[in-house]
Amino acid sequence: MERKKQDEKATVKSSLISDVRPLYKHLSEVQTELNGWVERSLLLKDELKNRFSSLCNIQEEVTKELKASAADGEFRFASHQAAKFQGEILNMKQENNKVAEELQAGLDDARTLQLEVERTLLKLTEDWELSGSQINRSGQQQDSDTQNRVPLWTFIFGAKSKKQKTSIFACVHPALHRKYTSLRSLYSSK
């Protein structure tokens, strides 16, 4: 009787473990994706910092050029043009700051998710005696350096959809279709 109860408990536990394994594997994949996203976000954050410093340098050059042209008496561009450049640069800096803030918010959310996934995986490992080697024996995790990088422009504004070019065969097909249809009718009538 006791042996039967132990066998039932073992069967139930193995059934539950087999139900938990796909969840564990999925959470491990989510963790890998989050790690990659955080790394790419940090790269984008650095790129935004570089763009901001470039915009500051451009703004300084416009100011220097305006002062130099005023001192020489030779105006290379009018003051309204300089003001227009300064305004455009200011707008770009503000947009850059907005993107940086949104990126930071996304990065904070991703890090929070990373911690939650890590805690959940640890709890599953402790409670169900699971580990990555038991779940995924087939392969190694991908190295984050080999993952595709997302260009900042695409990340911010989205990818442009490419128009598919019509194939030469698609253009020729209607003519071929008519030609073969007429040939078929000749041979089928004989």
pLDDT of residue 164: 55
- Residues spanned by the domain of 16: 2-134
Give domain status of residue 60, yes or no: yes
Give domain status of residue 54, yes or no: yes
Question: Measured on CA atoms in the order 67, 73, 79, 81, is the torsion positive or negative?
Answer: negative
Cα–Cα distance measured from residue 158 to residue 152, given in angstroms and rounded to the nearest whole number: 9
- Give me the helix-helix angle, 2-72 and 79-128, nearest 10°: 170
Give domain status of residue 128, yes or no: yes
Contact at 8 Å (CB) between 110 and 34? yes
Cα–Cα distance measured from residue 54 to residue 41, given in angstroms and rounded to the nearest whole number: 20
Give domain status of residue 155, yes or no: no
pLDDT (tens digit per residue) in 79-132: 788 889 899 999 999 999 999 999 999 999 999 999 999 999 998 888 877 655
pTM attached to this predicted model? 0.58
pLDDT band at 185 (very low <50, low <70, confident <90, very high): low
Give domain status of residue 153, yes or no: no
pLDDT of residue 77: 73
Cα–Cα distance measured from residue 148 to residue 59, given in angstroms and rounded to the nearest whole number: 34
pLDDT (tens digit per residue) in 26-67: 999 999 999 999 999 999 999 999 999 999 999 999 888 888
Q: Token digits for 186?
A: 């000749």
Burial of 44 (C-beta count, 10 Å sphere; 0-12/13-18/19+): buried
pLDDT (tens digit per residue) in 159-175: 666 555 555 555 555 55
Number of domains, the chain: 1
- Alpha-helical regions (H) of 73-158: 79-128, 132-135, 152-157
Residue type, 144: S
Residue 71 has pLDDT above 50, yes or no: yes
More confident residue, 173 or 12: 12
Give domain status of residue 61, yes or no: yes
Give domain status of residue 72, yes or no: yes
Give domain status of residue 29, yes or no: yes
Question: For residue 81, what is the domain's CATH number?
Answer: 1.10.287
